[in-house]
Structure 1
Amino acid sequence: MERAGRRRKVRWKRVISLLFILMVAGVSAYTVYQYKQGVSLATDGKFKDDGKAASAFQGEEVKFGRINVLLLGSDSRGEEHARTDSIMIAHYDQETHQSKLISIMRDTYVNIPGHGEQKINAAYAYGGPELLRQTIKENFNIDINYYAVVDFEGFSKVADIIAPDGIEVDVPHEMTYGIGTTINAGKQSLHGDKLLGYVRFRHDKLSDFGRVQRQQEVIRKLKDEALSMGSIIKLPKILGVINPYVDTNMDTATLFSVGKDLLTNKSNDMKSMRIPVNGSFTNEKYDGVGAVLSINLNENRTALNEFLSS
């Protein structure tokens, strides 16, 4: 009887081991399949064979803890380094699961190392993500660990995967000039290209300030939509789509780790801020530079550091 019992135990251990192996193999195969599906949707991304800036970027890698990622949207028309259309810092704390988003107005007047006082978006044109990292460090005393330059066409595709039914917004007035489409006023759900137009439009009385508000609104809603999935099922496909549309120094393993952490740990509501903060700047015009936001640097540096440490 004892010998038969031992045989049954051995048999069950083998069955459990086999089931575990099959499960791991199945998950791995599904992950690869979804990733390849995502890649197939993004074969024309302009960063497909890029990565030149990654070797020059000197941000300190973070294995676990607080991560700051420089998010850049470029208005390039084919130039290697055009001025950036949007500048954001995405902050994520892997211990508290708190995510934060900082938008830096592109006309903010700062000192760019080696180039003197300029609009901050000129730093990318002069020296890519690394010079912009140095500029942020010198002016605001914030360390940037990683960067991601986004081709806006990829934003449309990713948004449609995360939110196939669109993102609900309340459009205050008709938007059409400079975005390649027409968005009517009123509450509605926007998909891909129209959602992209919504976050890029700036030809109204709020100008770039309104655009920054809409960018933060949409990113927050996309994050909430991703979390509402309650799983990481779509993550491999999303990473596959993103890959050719993003030039970044974050490897796929790090992207997957942070993405999985965000989805499975139900991070807190995303907090956001804008630089310059209210009451800390004046509108100025300088020869050779044009219209700028002249800021109280100490006030903004303190506000930014307090926001990240809270």
Structure 2
Amino acid sequence: MKKQTFIIGAGLMVVVLLIFGAGVGAYTGYLGLSWDSGTAKIDDPALAKQLQTSKQQDSDDGPEAIDILFLGTNAMESAPGPADSTASTGFLTDMIMVVHIPADRSGVQLVSIPNDTWVRVPGHGQGTVESSAEDGGLPLAVQTISEFLAVDIDHVAVVDLAGLSALTDLVGGVEVESSTAFESGGHDFRVGSNTLGGEAALAFVCERTAFPKGDLQRIRNQQEFIRAVGTQVVSSDYEFNPVKMSELIRVLSPFLTVDSGLNASKLVKLGTQLKGISEDDFDFVTAPTEVPVVTDGDGVRLTADRGGLEKLKQAIADDTVSDYSFRAEDRHR
């Protein structure tokens, strides 16, 4: 049976977005206060320069497409936080996604970019896409990914992936389907169904060295986890329970660092516009790459499939990513 409201997330971000959409009246204001007081905000000119600003206000013709860069890290000691005076502190990424919200607000598309994808890093020559965050923090990461996908990034969010562990424990665990058997962090995952607690969930979404395809398999696991946690949140009726919604925001917000424009007011507006979407309106896409190449240092280099990448870039420009996802070779529903 089709769910009327499907709460899901790029890790955490879209979970939060749709919870704001489910809130009502004064209670939405309370959720907003919890969000604004709990999340770390970065208000830095170098980052603001890289973020798109012309789409912040809806036009007379209605809403425009929104693109949010979502970076996950399992090493938050190096990530930007409230004590930082700038956003330029380098940090390591374990997850790179662009959350694309189309102008008609008919769904959400999550575009994963493999960390090992070889790209042009402005001012640093060629390198992996993950090196942009390590070399120049959020401003350089936004600039690099914006250029790679030919997309204007409106907002950016960095999540401590430990938040996925906290989310998993909060909802009582999640059930994921694994396409391969592997071990990580003392946790054994079998082919088929696996029920995960918080620590196992973190291992499931962060592991990549155990797989011949490395980051490509990790992305599949991340997308599977997002699907599974969304299903679990829906089955627990969070959108209909103000106490549960409040607790979810309270638990998640400390794990998020966002640009100053991604405030409660913005989330309420976007969440309200997305209120009617369902499980079938979410799509996962991975930026297309060629066969992985092992480098001299035993690292892996992924070269973008130029033909496939151009089709993805055109779909983003035309706001037809949902249609593209049905034709894409590597998609996850």
Match of 1:297 among 306, 316, 332: 306
Question: How many residues are matched?
Answer: 271
SS in 1 for 2:240: coil
Query: Are 1:167 and 2:174 matched, yes or no?
Result: yes
CA contact 1:108–1:276 (8 Å) conserved in 2: no
Match of 1:32 among 14, 30, 33: 30
Structure 1 outlier segments of 4+, above 6 Å: none
Compared CA separation, residues 138 and 276, structure 1 to 2 (3 A): same
Query: Are 1:87 and 2:96 matched, yes or no?
Result: yes
Query: Are 1:153 and 2:162 matched, yes or no?
Result: yes
The residue correspondences of 1:51-62 to structure 2 (distance < 5 A) are 51=42, 56-57=47-48, 58-61=50-53, 62=56
The residue correspondences of 1:21-170 to structure 2 (distance < 5 A) are 28=26, 32=30, 51=42, 56-57=47-48, 58-61=50-53, 62-63=56-57, 64-76=63-75, 78-79=77-78, 80-93=89-102, 95-161=104-170, 164-170=171-177
Query: Are 1:237 and 2:247 matched, yes or no?
Result: yes
User: What is the CA–CA distance in structure 2 between the aligned matches of 1:89 and 1:306, rounded to whole Å?
Assistant: 13
Query: Are 1:199 and 2:205 matched, yes or no?
Result: yes
Match of 1:214 among 221, 229, 232: 221
Backbone CA RMSD of aligned residues: 3.3
Query: Are 1:246 and 2:252 matched, yes or no?
Result: no
SS in 2 for 1:176: strand
SS in 2 for 1:56: helix
- Cα offset, 1:175, TM superposition: 3.7
- Cα offset, 1:226, TM superposition: 4.0
- Cα offset, 1:194, TM superposition: 1.4
Instruction: Identify unmatched segments of 5+ residues in structure 1.
Output: 1-25, 43-47
CA contact 2:112–2:219 (8 Å) conserved in 1: yes
Deviation per residue, 1:178-234 (Å, 9 max, x gap): xx3413425232232212211112212332111111111121233344455353734
Deviation per residue, 1:108-137 (Å, 9 max, x gap): 111111111111111111222221221122
User: What is the CA–CA distance in structure 2 between the aligned matches of 1:269 and 1:127, rounded to whole Å?
Assistant: 35
- Structure with greater Cα Rg: 1
SS in 2 for 1:82: coil
User: What is the CA–CA distance in structure 2 between the aligned matches of 1:94 and 1:126, rounded to whole Å?
Assistant: 33
Compared CA separation, residues 258 and 219, structure 1 to 2 (3 A): farther
CA contact 2:162–2:255 (8 Å) conserved in 1: yes
CA contact 1:175–1:201 (8 Å) conserved in 2: no
Worse overlay, 235-244 or 95-104: 235-244
Compared CA separation, residues 232 and 94, structure 1 to 2 (3 A): farther
Instruction: Identify unmatched segments of 5+ residues in structure 2.
Output: 1-23, 58-62, 79-88, 324-333
- Cα offset, 1:106, TM superposition: 0.6
| TM-score normalised by L of structure 2 | 0.69
Equivalent AA in structure 2 for residue 51 of structure 1? I
User: What is the CA–CA distance in structure 2 between the aligned matches of 1:299 and 1:170, rounded to whole Å?
Assistant: 27
Match of 1:188 among 166, 170, 194: 194
User: What is the CA–CA distance in structure 2 between the aligned matches of 1:299 and 1:98, rounded to whole Å?
Assistant: 22
User: What is the CA–CA distance in structure 2 between the aligned matches of 1:275 and 1:96, rounded to whole Å?
Assistant: 22
CA contact 1:70–1:89 (8 Å) conserved in 2: yes
Deviation per residue, 1:149-185 (Å, 9 max, x gap): 1101112223344xx24222234555433xx341342
Aligned to 1:273: 285
Equivalent AA in structure 2 for residue 252 of structure 1? A
| TM-score normalised by L of structure 1 | 0.73
User: What is the CA–CA distance in structure 2 between the aligned matches of 1:97 and 1:268, rounded to whole Å?
Assistant: 10
SS in 1 for 2:66: strand
